[in-house]
Chains A and B, each alone.
Chain A
């Protein structure tokens, strides 16, 4: 049966219902006014909890049983343990053994280490994942093998969905590097330190039941707590919540690729020559090799000019920490920590401050940190001639990445995408993005190794670099150049079935991903 779809404000055809729940098609940036009241979890009473504050139960299975795990529940996890996460898979292994069916897994992100969840999608324990799909999980979804429809949200969209009650978390299972018996928990200390655990904030505040899982039980109070024990139902102590060297990298490294270094160099030049980079700027860049190189080059410029960045928003890395420690950055506000230098810094430097995405990215709140940022460095798998961006699928149509904070970050003053013009033979600039994740009106500059394209909506930026000697081109010129080198690609073939919905930051549906047609 063909699915009924309507054309949304971005011109994409999206359904009015996903997984049996009504959804709102995208209306345009800033157009959807939510109304109503925030969701609230059930009211608890102290009489149900031990007076001595000891909420420790012996196993995760027991905790899940006590939380009343049953068919169709929504289970949430955070991704601070990244590719070293040993907790998420365990939940579904237990649920499968308990015979539970039709669960919804609602992670803040998934990693290759979560691929075993495919087994529990196959056996019906899990109906669907609402979160990022990477690698094999994305392939599984794209081939139409998941029973439910995936829902992809940005980090901010995820907390918005929790707050607004679009997603009601039945049980939040929150891994914590340190926790006390009452449930206070933090991201530092113990063998599995990951720095911060801010992604868990909306989960513990809004879930009906909260389980904290730790491998480092400390005496009360676990301080400074990022998870507050008054929200926590049970604490489980296990041998290991994660594999340390897969949680944070020993050290993050700037790219060695000559082409990426060239892109980073061009980006730094652009920032300098356009006047965007100045004393007191605020900035955010990711942990990818190119972003790190940009951070290094920007640091050099700040140092040479005697300037200082007011604050940086992390994903923190040693390069950002270096700016903080050498005096070119006032504060690091941190949502996640990528390497050991950053873990050390957040433990010892009072100006390196945990800052949950709940406070930074939630569009249904009274202001976002992202719109206060001057410089935002982001990536994309595709950008089209209207500057629209795609970060979830590749040009071959397969779902391969999550949205992360990308959509939220588009609200910064200057959104800059340093991307290679083609990856191996795959052009990045296309006529129309395979999947729309971010509207072009929010994307300002595309920087490739073969030229810089500025969004015509940003005449101010175009004027600022006139006569600068930077290689300015139009997106069409860049696209033609890529196609001259690579050839004009064919389009992938899709079936009608919708396998995933892409939410915008306000909870509306901006696009969908369709099932790949088997060739």
Chain B
């Protein structure tokens, strides 16, 4: 017998800003909507109108709909309704909420990716205000944070979130699933302005190319001009061995990340705070990324409550050469950003070096000296890099040279 009842979404005592929709297709009797909602007085009519509009789009004339709502926003209600319908009806139609024009921005290869916040792809409550925490990137995750049975509804929710939520200029990222499922994920997200795709458990440049090709096809079909960058995540011994090739797998690869939970599992060792077991892998990723002129990005730090341990972790990470880290809680963002940004003493030292270099250049000297110490060209180059970073992070002004000089006078 053909299935005629479907349930989508989440409800329960701890669930907020979400809803569960039960849809039963009927052969007659029209549409009946049973709404249990804490916002019924305020939004009861608009919820019913939305549901009717969606049923109408999919040509459903007779159905019973039961909604258990804990304050779901319209894009969430719409996603849940569409997911329920698609469990029962095979269709290519989509109910797309308005795409906010403010979301139509692109990013660049070189932009900072110090902090990128992971959001579980099927938890709308965490998405709504995610853009307020000033992460460099926001990752809507379709992979590990979504239960296998919820993959379909997460795709629709993430699609709607990409259209409706403003992430305040953060790089808009999606982590797709592995293999075929990941390629299918792209159909749901690429048309809605994704800036970067994270490729989990990446082990070969071939898969990067596959993802690249699929994205190309979709971009062509939807006439998308914004670039879609790639960030493969290395999470296995084989991935580590192939990391340089993976980094070069496509021109659109802008960063290489490492995922240590799966990597240590692959090695059959425990993940420790000191991280000796992953030192080689992390260094290898850094070297591979730097050799390919892209950004090496470190694994997430999972103890959300321990800010001090996170600070230390960032310090080590930066010292190894990483240029960013994943975040699993907004509280980690500022710690990570501050950690990867140059500190006061680094900036001051670099200012002195760059100024000494400028002086020497003006005087036509081939050798740069700071006090009695000779300074090699690579040291000057590194100092310049730190200064550029500090300027772009607004830690010092673009006119820092004159400001420093006026202080000296």
Contact = CB atoms under 8 A, between A and B. Distances in A.
Interface of A: 258-259, 261-262, 395-397, 423-426, 449-450, 485-487, 489-490, 492, 519
Nearest to B126: A258
Given A262-B132, A426-B42, A492-B41, A486 B73 contact: yes
Given A261-B331, A262-B330, A486-B73, A425 B129 contact: no
A262 B331 CA distance: 9
Interface in B1-21: 16-17
B128 interface: yes
B397 to A, nearest CB: 14
Contacts of B133: 258, 262
A487 B132 contact: no
15 contacts: A258-B133, A258-B329, A259-B132, A261-B330, A395-B41, A396-B41, A424-B16, A424-B38, A424-B70, A425-B42, A425-B72, A425-B73, A449-B132, A490-B43, A490-B44
Contacts, number: 60
Nearest to B42: A489
B39 A425 contact: yes
A487 B329 CA distance: 28
A85 B132 CA distance: 41
Nearest to B72: A425
A259 B42 contact: no
Interface of B: 16-17, 38-46, 70-74, 128-129, 132-133, 329-331
Contacts of A490: 41-46
Nearest first, the 9 A-B pairs at minimum CB distance are: A424-B71, A258-B330, A489-B42, A396-B41, A425-B71, A425-B39, A259-B129, A492-B41, A424-B17
Contacts of B74: 487
Contacts of A426: 39, 42, 71
B100 to A, nearest CB: 9
A424 B39 contact: yes
B342 to A, nearest CB: 20
Contacts of B46: 487, 490
Given A262-B132, A449-B132, A492-B41, A425 B331 contact: no
Contact of A485 (B16, B42, B73): B73
A519 B35 CA distance: 13
Contacts of B42: 395-396, 425-426, 489-490, 492
Contacts of B41: 395-397, 490, 492, 519
A395 to B, nearest CB: 6
Contacts of A395: 41-42
A326 B63 CA distance: 65
A403 to B, nearest CB: 22
Contact of B132 (A397, A450, A486, A519): A450
Contacts of A423: 71
B41 to A, nearest CB: 4
Contacts of A424: 16-17, 38-39, 70-71
Nearest to A487: B46
A335 to B, nearest CB: 32
A470 to B, nearest CB: 14
A328 B45 CA distance: 53
A426 B70 CA distance: 11
A397 B129 CA distance: 27
Nearest to B100: A484
Contacts of B39: 396, 424-426, 489
Contacts of B128: 485
A419 to B, nearest CB: 14
Contacts of B45: 490
Contacts of B132: 259, 262, 449-450
B43 A258 contact: no
A487 B43 contact: yes
A24 B59 CA distance: 60
Nearest to A398: B41
A437 B70 CA distance: 27
Contacts of A261: 330-331
A425 B329 CA distance: 22
Most buried by B among A396, A424, A490, A492: A424
Given A487-B73, A490-B42, 13 more contacts: A258-B129, A258-B331, A259-B132, A261-B330, A262-B132, A262-B133, A396-B40, A424-B16, A426-B39, A449-B129, A449-B132, A486-B73, A487-B74
